[in-house]
Structure 1
Amino acid sequence: MNEPNAALPIVVIGAGPIGLAAASHLVARGLEPLVLEAGAGAGSAVREWSHLRLFSTWGEVVDPAAEKLLAPTGWVRPDNGTYPTGSDWVQRYLQPLADALGDRVRFGTRVTGVSRLGRDRVVDADRERQPFTVRILNADGSEERITARAIVDASGTWSTPGPLGGDGLPALGEHTAADRISYRVPDLRDEAQRARYAGKRTAVIGSGASAFTALALLAGLAEDAPDTKAVWVLRRGLSGSTFGGGESDQLPARGALGLAAKAAVDSGHADAVTGFRAVAIETRTGTDGERLVIVAEDGRRLDPVDEVVVLTGFRPDLSFLAELRLGLDERLQAPVELAPLIDPNVHSCGTVYPHGAGQLAHPEKDVYLVGMKSYGRAPTFLAMTGFEQVRSVAAALAGDHEAAARVELTLPETGVCGGSGLFDETGAASAEEAGGCCATTPATLRIGTGAPAGSGGC
């Protein structure tokens, strides 16, 4: 780092679990972070799913450097073996950590652009000698620029959920029907949301943990409101992997989510429609009021539904990084060195290796995307992965390249095979030919009470 820039702060974008961990590691290294958070408090995205329970225990969602920073404040670590909700995570860890960091964290500051001072992405001359300039929009509407020696983007992907359309684009009519579509797992503790889904027919689009959770919640609601029904729409076919790892998952709570989704189907509270890639959503008015009909690319139409919950993953917002020279994989929008390690076309059972600054580096020196954002469109990110990332990045920024290159994490294996929209090959002779460990053959079918949901797994 050039001497004139060494006195500048390292800007960390986002005061979520990974951004605050990054700041903690930087402080431990004697470096000065400045955390810029668009929300009004720590973990603003986590607060939006505060009603959900993590499938990682407290022992897996507290960063070691953060714990050291919290210790002098009198902070008491929760029981390692228990599972926090999103609300617990914020109130008992993230907000106290932000408080401990003090003025190093600024809330209500949205980053709208990052570049090199006096250099757009085209200019080579003296590029690496120039500090970064970060443009921000404050909560009061004022704008300012901050100069930084390095950028650690931990802004996540929560604000950019995937659309209904199976081609990655919004389905025709998706925007028109926006008042009947949600991209979040419903909070059925809230009376307004409970009323929205009680006694209604809801389509749940997606095949990951969020979809499992939504199906289980709607099945629970059906116990009180018997007319409540879910239609589970999958872009791929059913296989032994559809419901995740179950009892074989090394994160038991994650495995339990899949089992809960399977129970919702087996009990008749949910029907499954597979190999269904939406291209349009139509509004139909009949004797039973206004309802929605989802149309697939092959012309099939679902029976009308009242509500749609789209849980098709997330994607990174790269718009404010447009003037930086990023090296991103053309498919996943993840760093090119990281992408092969997390590609769900290959690592369909979650065999993701720990990684650090070396895999997260970009052509633009001293820029790192970390946390969920580093995964681009790939699923199955774990907080532990992010903690290891920022430990390594902080070491690299401090010039300790030996520590940056070390691997100090062993991840539990996931039982989840594949992500939404993968493994579409029909007639594959083996799992390997199908692009993953669990070959599937897409089909359209309904599963009623007691019907088998597939067997086997990874």
Structure 2
Amino acid sequence: MPTPATAELPVVVIGAGPIGLAAAAHLVDRGIEPLVLEAGPAAATAVRAWSHVRLFSTWGEVVDPAAEKLLAPTGWVKPDAATYPSGGDWADAYLQPLADVLGDRVRAGATVTGVSRSGRDRIVDADRAAQPFVVHIAHADGREERIFARAVLDASGTWSTPSPAGGSGLPALGEKAAADRIAYRVPDLDDPATRARYAGRRTAVIGSGASAFTALAQLAALARSDDGTGTKGVWVLRRGISGSTFGGGEADQLPARGALGLAAKAAVDDGHADAVTGFRTDAVERTADGRLILVAEDGRRLDPVDEIIVLTGFRPDLSFLSEIRLNLDERLQAPVELAPLIDPNQHSCGTVYPHGVNELAHPERDVYLVGMKSYGRAPTFLALTGYEQVRSVAAALAGDQEAAEKVELTLPETGVCGGAGLFDTADTSDSSQDGGCCAAPAAPSVIQIGVGAPAASGGC
């Protein structure tokens, strides 16, 4: 429980995305005043950046109960629970109305640059827990501000820090110099300028998860269109092709997620892309005519491409938390108690045990990483997970420990994962039968991959 000196201070929530706004709704429901700080110009800025991508979760799975309760008096009507929103739908029809209801509790254009204990740097123990948090903010207009808080929930996500093409986790040699030809997000091929960038071009797609499926599907659709003649994809995988490469298929309890993989698998003979397996990018070289050549750690060189789309996952930005005492797993950069539950080196896709405040706690009391940020580098996050996290944390901050520890979560099983450590793991099981994610790599090879019509995808 907060001390009398901090009890009247707000709980600062970093990030006005789906989980940050849900956290604010749960705090309001508990009678606790939140202050949501969003770096972007409006709520759900990151979601709007992929507004063209359709989620593989339905509306019924991406609306938080406390948020729905807060919206109900405004006359808000929940969209058809069985339909699939795009990122733009999610932002416009739910997240922005929720931010509007929260009103002045949400501040846009406010970038958090640092969090600490008031008057205590990371080293100091004396009277530390009794001090409020101090949050340093840089505003879009250049102003700086300092806000005091009784607790901090970091729901800033990982969207701003995509992982690089390099197989070592560091940018490949030449990757930064080739930035004008490299994208780190699924492109919006309905946008005329973006469409022109890829139409009739040869594009490498690096990655093995749902985002890579989506990009390949979009490139295949472009290749079949009147203005896309000559469009070709090169799918670059660090692992081999196996029965689990395309996800859970018909066994996936999120049908749209399974359909996304099945679309790629079913069109294997269409020839819209070549798949290169066992390829870990070491360098990106530019030819005399400006095209790009990918070079592997083993020295293999791919034929030149015009563009590269890197979809190798995301990682948390922890720089502004450097004065906070966090206890993070050394591999995933997720809270140590949560990491074993989500580690893609050990864990099947989509199966996550119920977890809440206890798994999210750190040595620094009353500071929590929630939402996608809590997963560190793990790729299997679903919105349902984050909603349960912030429900539990809000209950704990309200002093209701019984409710905080009563975590209940059932997630759809199977799906697609892309853990970077999996491609070196031996697997003696028949993954084509069990739908598991952790398949051993096949020998490096090139096969023909054709991708059908785009299926629902996204981060949730």
Measured after TM superposition, the shift of residue 347 of structure 1 is: 0.6
Over the matched positions of the two proteins, sequence identity in percent amounts to: 77
Residue 85 of structure 2: aligned partner: 84
Residue 69 of structure 2: aligned partner: 68
What secondary structure, in the 3-state scheme, does the structure 1 residue paired with 2:305 have?
A: coil
Q: 1:332 to 1:450 in 2, by over 3 A?
A: closer
Residue 118 of structure 1: aligned partner: 119
Q: Distance in 2 between matches of 1:347 and 1:317?
A: 24
Q: Distance in 2 between matches of 1:264 and 1:352?
A: 31
Residue 345 of structure 2: aligned partner: 345
Q: 1:345 to 1:276 in 2, by over 3 A?
A: same
Measured after TM superposition, the shift of residue 231 of structure 1 is: 0.3
Among 253, 278, 282, which residue is 2:285 paired with? 282
Deviations 1:263-311 (A, max 9, x none): 45431101110110001000012xxx32100000000001100000000
Gaps in structure 1 of 5+ consecutive residues: 452-458
What secondary structure, in the 3-state scheme, does the structure 2 residue paired with 1:70 have?
A: helix
Q: Distance in 1 between matches of 2:409 and 2:222?
A: 39
Tell me whether 1:151 sits opposite 2:152 in the alignment: yes
Q: 1:236 to 1:449 in 2, by over 3 A?
A: closer
Measured after TM superposition, the shift of residue 418 of structure 1 is: 4.9
Measured after TM superposition, the shift of residue 228 of structure 1 is: 0.3
Tell me whether 1:13 sits opposite 2:37 in the alignment: no
Measured after TM superposition, the shift of residue 370 of structure 1 is: 0.2
Q: Distance in 2 between matches of 1:188 and 1:23?
A: 35
Gaps in structure 2 of 5+ consecutive residues: 452-460
Contact kept, 8 Å, 1:181 with 1:307, in 2: the verdict is yes
Residue 325 of structure 1: aligned partner: 325
Measured after TM superposition, the shift of residue 161 of structure 1 is: 0.1
Residue 203 of structure 1: aligned partner: 204
Measured after TM superposition, the shift of residue 376 of structure 1 is: 0.1
Q: Distance in 2 between matches of 1:197 and 1:71?
A: 44
What secondary structure, in the 3-state scheme, does the structure 1 residue paired with 2:47 have?
A: helix
State how 1:54-453 maps to structure 2 within 5 Å: 54-224=55-225, 225-285=228-288, 289-416=289-416, 418-425=418-425, 429-430=428-429, 438-448=438-448
Q: Distance in 2 between matches of 1:423 and 1:230?
A: 22
Q: Distance in 2 between matches of 1:450 and 1:140?
A: 48
Alignment-mate amino acid for residue 75 of structure 2:
G
Contact kept, 8 Å, 2:422 with 2:438, in 1: the verdict is no
Deviations 1:36-86 (A, max 9, x none): 001111110000000010000000000000000001111111000000000
Measured after TM superposition, the shift of residue 424 of structure 1 is: 1.4
Deviations 1:179-226 (A, max 9, x none): 000001010010000000000000000000000000000000000222
Alignment-mate amino acid for residue 272 of structure 2:
H
Contact kept, 8 Å, 1:216 with 1:264, in 2: the verdict is no
Measured after TM superposition, the shift of residue 450 of structure 1 is: 8.2
Contact kept, 8 Å, 2:16 with 2:36, in 1: the verdict is yes
What secondary structure, in the 3-state scheme, does the structure 2 residue paired with 1:110 have?
A: strand
Deviations 1:142-164 (A, max 9, x none): 10100000000000000000001
What RMSD in Å do the two structures reach over aligned CA positions? 1.5
Q: Distance in 2 between matches of 1:350 and 1:389?
A: 16
* Structure-2-length-normalised TM-score: 0.94
Q: 1:338 to 1:34 in 2, by over 3 A?
A: same
Q: 1:146 to 1:2 in 2, by over 3 A?
A: same
Measured after TM superposition, the shift of residue 449 of structure 1 is: 6.5
Residue 50 of structure 1: aligned partner: 51
Measured after TM superposition, the shift of residue 444 of structure 1 is: 1.8
Alignment-mate amino acid for residue 275 of structure 2:
A
What secondary structure, in the 3-state scheme, does the structure 2 residue paired with 1:135 have?
A: strand
Q: Distance in 2 between matches of 1:155 and 1:72?
A: 28
Q: Distance in 2 between matches of 1:211 and 1:448?
A: 16
What secondary structure, in the 3-state scheme, does the structure 2 residue paired with 1:231 have?
A: strand
Contact kept, 8 Å, 1:333 with 1:377, in 2: the verdict is yes
Q: Distance in 2 between matches of 1:82 and 1:309?
A: 29
Measured after TM superposition, the shift of residue 111 of structure 1 is: 0.2
Residue 454 of structure 2: aligned partner: none
Alignment-mate amino acid for residue 230 of structure 2:
D
Alignment-mate amino acid for residue 274 of structure 2:
D
Measured after TM superposition, the shift of residue 446 of structure 1 is: 1.9
Alignment-mate amino acid for residue 295 of structure 1:
V
What secondary structure, in the 3-state scheme, does the structure 2 residue paired with 1:423 have?
A: helix
Residue 455 of structure 2: aligned partner: none
* Structure-1-length-normalised TM-score: 0.94
| Structure with more contact order per residue of length (Cα contacts < 8 Å, sep ≥ 6) | 2
Residue 25 of structure 1: aligned partner: 26
What secondary structure, in the 3-state scheme, does the structure 1 residue paired with 2:424 have?
A: coil
Q: 1:182 to 1:264 in 2, by over 3 A?
A: farther
Alignment-mate amino acid for residue 319 of structure 1:
S
Q: 1:214 to 1:263 in 2, by over 3 A?
A: farther
Deviations 1:409-438 (A, max 9, x none): 211112335524513145x54579xxx764
Q: Distance in 2 between matches of 1:354 and 1:416?
A: 20
Q: 1:23 to 1:449 in 2, by over 3 A?
A: closer
Deviations 1:234-260 (A, max 9, x none): 011111110011111000111111122
